[in-house]
Amino acid sequence: MTKKRILITSISHFDPSPLRDLGYDPVRASTVRIAPDPDAVRALRGRIIEGSYDSAAFMSPRAIDLISPDAMLVKSLSAMRVYAVGPSTAGSLESRGIRVSGVPREYTSASLADLIAAENSKAPFRKMVVPRSALADSWFSEKLNSQGISSEELRIYTAQPDVEGINLFLHTLEEGVEAAVFTSRSSILMLVDYLRSCGRELEAIGALKRVKVIAIGPETARGLKSAGIDAAVLGIHSINGLVSYLKGDQT
């Protein structure tokens, strides 16, 4: 049986076997490369250990990986109220022994902000830290602050185009794919910005419009929409959610 090729922009490695079992040939082609800011990472670790915060909100597993939770940091985070934007981020925290106080029902930053506001009404936070990418906007902390929640965003990494991954993405797209899966807003924005710089944006977007495009969540879908690409949105925002979607278990 000929397997249907599917492009996935995930930065992280994943187990391809569930997709292969469904008859797909997954090709991981990351369009983004993470560049940590060592000084910002060091400052964040120090402030957490010093007790500068009583709570934290994590927006992705990448931030958790970058702060390298050792025994001292895990102990400090375990004494805090820690929130995660979705199950992948929560799983990354819990696998390190860090208890997660809450995950929103809808795995978006807007829903996370609403959850934190509801929690604050029950037991006010003293100060919350939000590790972010340098490319993220500041609306999340602004929304928290507008609701009387003292929060501080620390920009501990940035995203850059992964040229090798982009070339693999384009080559595979040209060869023909059943679908292209985007796993973050930055994965489409980095791709489009790079292609625009070398005059290949319209060609690639035209090719994407001829295949099924899947967004891992609504924020990723909005990034695709800004590039003129419509996408199906996974109900479960993870590779497991993609498997369920392809099985027809969710719409």
Same fold, 4-31+162-247 and 35-159: yes
- pTM for this prediction: 0.79
**Residue 76 predicted with pLDDT over 70:** yes
Q: If DSSP codes are grouped into helix, strand and coil, which group holds residue 83?
A: strand
Q: pLDDT-derived band of residue 170, with 50, 70 and 90 as boundaries?
A: very high
Phi, psi of 15 (to 5 degrees): -75, 115
- How would you class 249 by CB atoms within 10 Å of its CB: exposed for 0-12, middle for 13-18, buried for 19 or more? exposed
Cα–Cα distance for residue pair 42/56, rounded to 1 Å = 16
Hey, what CATH topology would domain 4-31+162-247 get?
Rossmann fold (3.40.50)
**What class has domain 35-159?**
alpha beta
Query: What mean pLDDT do residues 78-103 have?
Result: 94
Cα–Cα distance for residue pair 234/37, rounded to 1 Å = 31
At residue 251, the pLDDT reads 45
- Alpha-carbon distances of 122 from 66, 74, 114, 147, 160, rounded to whole Å: 31, 25, 13, 13, 40
**Residue 250 predicted with pLDDT over 60:** no
At residue 159, the pLDDT reads 87
At residue 40, the pLDDT reads 96
At residue 185, the pLDDT reads 87
Q: What is the pLDDT of the chain when averaged over all its residues? A: 92
Query: What mean pLDDT do residues 194-202 have?
Result: 92
Domain ranges of the chain: 4-31+162-247, 35-159
* Portion of the chain with pLDDT greater than 70, in percent: 98
